């Protein structure tokens, strides 16, 4: 009898455990499905995410590891093409090199995020990680953009299309889960706004900043270096952003150089003698075989970069189409009292967090573009005379994912026509000028308390192609002034908004780029709020 009872007890136990297993598996699958349905790629998510990960945090960690692994595989594939490049056209090689470099950045970003979330992540650090994950998508999209610009080379493009597409989906799902698991709590933090507006940088010296070393560039040989590139190459590697600035003072002159500040050169400060006195110039363009990414006269990736009193030019002209003067992919980077001169795609605000103060930007088509989290403060935008049958678009913001913390915020700036465009008496030579157009699906641009001259078309904004992105973009205006600021005939798109002060605060230095944490060390004046 005891044996039979033991047998029945064992049987009941097994049945109970089986029911529990089936039930828990069903819950796991349901939980996984529910999570995936909140992401931009639910079907891909469901086929990728195992059911045993029950918490959003664990699901995110798993997908971040998958993203890192995929990125390493992609980088190895790109490297193999670059190592056997004898038969590949030069324009395709440019695109491959862009992709490889951006993949290396993504490996760093994913590694940094994974290391950070192994411990408790709170407050300001969440914004840092959110910024890095947003940038991984931007980097991957830039890679795809490059291949779309060059003549197709099927042996390469067909082999890369699927890995690149899958990587974007993985990155997007990871970002969605990070936003759901970590970012929402951080958003409930402090709303205190401080104003710091009294620091100054003189033309030939740096005040109120910690400087660990200063070198001089002078072509006449009287300085430490004769070229900017030599000075950058000699700057310390991987010095971090807490040990003061390595200052490169560039005396007045015209420098025909293509300068790139790599990720290993952190907290580098480039100081010139003033706008139109220290000038860095080049003329690369897409028409001449470069990708938009590589057409930049000046490019920077090194974290904590600051530029002061310099003009950056691309002289390719309007007929050469995309031709970048500056490409900025440096987190916590600042440009103060600088000028950016070009036509189409003058200033490429590529990724991460950026601040521009008292700068001049000249251009025609999409002349401020990219997918960084960017604030322009007290700057002047000068639309120029474009080619025949072209119009001017000041911005073309490139946000591709609803969970990216990116966008363009234009605060206390002024939009007036460049002298070549004419004025109201000539009807600005019949050229239409718009505040922006949606380069990508979730394009986001806001104008706050800015002066708009009469050259702005009454509808304000224009389409990219048909009704693309008109319901998913976010374009907004708040308290602007001047003859071009009248909103009575603005577009009626679902994504266009007239916002109040509460909503405008979300796009200030403090809330949008957390600049109150990192701008004080630059010595550059800034307003943290709406002042």
List per-residue pLDDT tens for the chain, 531 residues long. Answer: 444 444 444 444 444 333 334 344 444 445 567 889 999 999 999 999 888 777 888 999 999 999 999 999 999 999 999 998 777 888 889 899 999 999 999 999 999 999 999 888 877 899 999 999 999 999 999 998 988 887 777 778 778 888 899 999 999 999 999 999 888 766 655 444 344 444 444 333 456 788 999 999 999 999 999 999 999 999 999 887 788 999 999 999 999 999 999 999 999 999 999 999 999 999 999 999 899 999 999 999 999 999 999 999 999 999 999 999 999 999 999 999 999 999 999 999 999 999 999 999 999 999 999 999 999 999 999 999 999 999 999 999 999 999 999 999 999 999 999 999 998 888 999 999 999 999 999 999 999 999 999 999 999 999 999 999 999 999 999 999 999 999 999 999 999 999 999 999 999 999 999 999 999 999 999 999 997
Angle (CA) 213 218 223, round 5°? 50
CATH superfamily of 41-187: Invertase/pectin methylesterase inhibitor family protein (1.20.140.40)
Domain with CATH 1.20.140.40 in the chain: 41-187
CB contact at 8 A, 240 and 266: yes
DSSP alpha helices (H): ranges in 180-327? 184-186, 228-234
DSSP one-letter code for 294: G
Pairing verdict, β 195-196 and 526-527: antiparallel
Whether 196 and 519 have beta carbons less than 8 Å apart is answered as: yes
Residue with tokens 């909503």: 503
Alpha helices in 49-123, H assignment, sequence order: 56-83, 90-116
Supply the pTM of this predicted model.
0.91
Whole-angstrom distance, CA of residue 43 vs CA of residue 48: 9
Report the top-level CATH class of 211-522. mainly beta
In angstroms, how far apart are the furthest CA atoms of the chain?
109
Beta-carbon count within 10 A of 184 CB: 10
Separation of alpha carbons 263 and 240, rounded Å = 11
Region(s) of the chain under CATH 2.160.20.10: 211-522
| Cβ atoms 440, 400 nearer than 8 A | yes
Catalytic residues: 366
The contacts of residue 416 (CB under 8 Å, 6+ apart) are: 380, 381, 382, 451, 453, 455
* Rounded Cα–Cα distance for residues 51 and 142 (Å): 33
């Amino acid at each position: 009898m005891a044996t039979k009872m033991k047998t029945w007890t064992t049987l009941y136990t097994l049945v109970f455990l089986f029911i529990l297993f089936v039930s828990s598996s069903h819950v796991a699958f349901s939980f996984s499905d529910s999570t995936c349905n909140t992401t931009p790629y639910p079907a891909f998510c469901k086929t990728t995410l195992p059911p045993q990960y029950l918490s959003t945090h664990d699901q995110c960690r798993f997908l971040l590891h998958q993203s890192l692994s995929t990125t390493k595989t992609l980088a190895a594939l790109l490297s193999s093409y670059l190592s056997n490049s004898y038969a590949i056209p030069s324009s395709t090689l440019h695109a491959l090199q862009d992709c490889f470099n951006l993949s290396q950045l993504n490996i760093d970003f994913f590694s940094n995020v994974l290391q950070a979330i192994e411990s408790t992540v709170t407050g300001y650090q969440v914004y840092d990680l959110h910024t890095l994950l947003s940038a991984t998508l931007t980097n991957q999209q830039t890679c795809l953009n490059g291949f779309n610009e060059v003549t197709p080379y099927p042996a390469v493009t067909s082999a890369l299309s699927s890995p690149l597409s899958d990587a974007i989906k993985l990155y997007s799902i990871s970002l969605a889960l990070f936003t759901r698991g970590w970012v929402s709590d951080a958003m409930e933090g402090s709303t205190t706004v401080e104003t710091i507006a009294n620091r100054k940088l003189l033309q030939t010296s740096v005040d109120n900043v910690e400087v660990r070393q200063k070198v001089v560039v002078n072509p006449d040989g009287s300085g430490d270096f004769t070229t900017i590139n030599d000075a950058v190459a000699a700057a310390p590697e991987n010095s971090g952003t807490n040990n003061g600035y390595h200052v490169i003072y560039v005396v007045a002159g015209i420098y025909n150089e293509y300068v790139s500040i790599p990720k290993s050169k952190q907290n580098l400060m480039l100081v010139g003698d003033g706008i139109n006195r220290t000038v860095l110039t080049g003329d690369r363009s897409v028409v001449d075989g470069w990708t938009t990414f590589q057409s930049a006269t000046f490019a920077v990736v090194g974290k904590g970069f600051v530029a002061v009193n310099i003009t950056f030019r691309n002289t390719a002209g309007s007929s050469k189409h995309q031709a970048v003067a500056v490409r900025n992919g440096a987190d916590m980077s600042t440009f103060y009292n600088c000028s950016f001169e070009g036509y189409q795609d003058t200033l490429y605000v590529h990724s991460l967090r950026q601040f521009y103060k008292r700068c001049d930007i000249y251009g025609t088509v999409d002349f401020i573009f990219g997918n960084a989290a960017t604030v322009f403060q007290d700057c002047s935008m000068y639309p120029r005379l474009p080619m025949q049958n072209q119009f001017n678009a000041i911005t073309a913001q490139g946000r591709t994912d609803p969970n990216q913390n990116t966008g363009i915020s234009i605060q206390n700036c002024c939009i007036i026509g460049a002298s070549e465009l004419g004025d109201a008496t000539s009807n600005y030579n019949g050229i239409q000028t718009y505040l922006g157009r949606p380069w990508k699906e979730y394009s986001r641009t806001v104008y706050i308390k800015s002066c708009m001259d009469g050259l702005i078309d009454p509808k304000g904004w224009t389409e990219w192609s048909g009704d693309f992105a008109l319901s998913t973009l976010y374009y907004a205006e708040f308290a602007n002034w001047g003859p071009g600021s009248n909103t009575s005939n603005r577009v009626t798109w679902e994504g266009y908004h007239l916002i109040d002060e509460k909503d405008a605060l979300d796009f200030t230095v403090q809330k949008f780029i957390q600049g109150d944490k990192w701008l004080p060390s630059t010595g550059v004046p800034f307003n943290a709020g709406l002042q």
